[in-house]
Amino acid sequence: MKTSPRKSLPAVVLAVAALLCAGGTLSGLAKTTAARLQERAQVLSPDRGRFRILVDGQPLGSETFEILWQGSQWLSRGQTEIRTPEGKSARVRAELKLNADGAPLAYDWSAQGEKESSAAITFEGGTARMSLHLKGAQPFTQEFQFNSPRVVILDNNMFHHYAILAGLYDWKAKGSQSFAVLIPQDLTPGSITVDSAGAVQSPRGTLEMLRVRSSDLEVEVYLDESRRLVRLAVPASKAEVVRE
């Protein structure tokens, strides 16, 4: 995979040749295909909600999101609004489409603030092709290569992407697991490791904790008994994201 000087944390075609016997072969194939697709789709779970964003205990903004199964693929949408203590504000919207097994198909984001920008990314195999648009500038294109089509999107201020990451983590195997990642707003590919820290007690009850590490950052991911994302913490920056 191509690397970048920055690595940080901050995404059925059924052919039937003939009916082998009267009454049921096509129906049986369709049911088998649907069952396999449903089994693969269990890698993620539908969810929707709102997160509060805090830095050093002070509110900075919020994110609303939804993750849903649509047709034969997963779709996630998020919108984050941030207001700094200096009075500056920004809004980011994003939409991610994924295969049933969690591999990304397409990702679009737009940001409004001091500068307006947007981008569209398509994924094919281990290749991601991005078209970036900055207000007042010519469109910019870039291509990223990965060793696997199963790339995790962890974009800036799209905290629900960690819910998707938690779904991709192999809970039966546990242990340390590595993932290729892409941070679209930073044009940054890289890699992370995810480890299970087991059960922890909190005001919300018993939560499962994952530690997500890159070369320069660690994020704590907390999930409830249904493995819904309820809290993120970045101890180094005193940042916290809490589900309402």
List the structure tokens of 77: 């949408």
Check: CB of residue 154 under 8 Å from CB of residue 135: no
Q: Which two tokens stand for residue 148?
A: 């696997």
Round to whole Å and give the CA distance between 165 and 171.
Answer: 12
Six-digit token string for 81 = 């609004």
- The model's confidence at residue 37, banded by pLDDT at 50, 70 and 90, is very low
Mean pLDDT of 43-63: 97
* The pairing of beta strand 152-153 with beta strand 177-183: parallel
The residue ranking higher by pLDDT, 230 or 42, is: 230
Looking at residue 41, its pLDDT comes to: 53
C-alpha closest to that of 242 among 225, 226, 216, 224: 224
Where are the strands (E) in 10-147, listed by range?
Answer: 47-55, 58-70, 73-83, 89-98, 104-112, 117-124, 127-134, 140-145
As a whole number, mean pLDDT of residues 93-110 equals 98
The reported pLDDT for the residue numbered 39 is 52
pTM, two decimals, is 0.83
> What's the burial of 85, exposed, middle or buried (CB within 10 Å: 0-12/13-18/19+)?
exposed
pLDDT at 29 over 80: no
Contact 112, 90 (CB under 8 A): yes
Tell me the H-state helices in the chain.
25-41, 161-168
Q: Residue written as tokens 């994110």?
A: 63
Neighbours of 241 (CB within 10 A): 26
Read off the tokens for 5: 């000087």
Average pLDDT value for the chain = 87
- Which value, in Å, is the radius of gyration of the alpha carbons in the chain? 20
Read off the pLDDT of residues 71-84 as tens digits, 9 standing for 90 and up. Answer: 999 999 999 999 98
pLDDT digits (tens, 9 = 90+) for 196-227: 999 999 988 999 999 999 998 999 999 999 99
pLDDT at 5 over 60: no
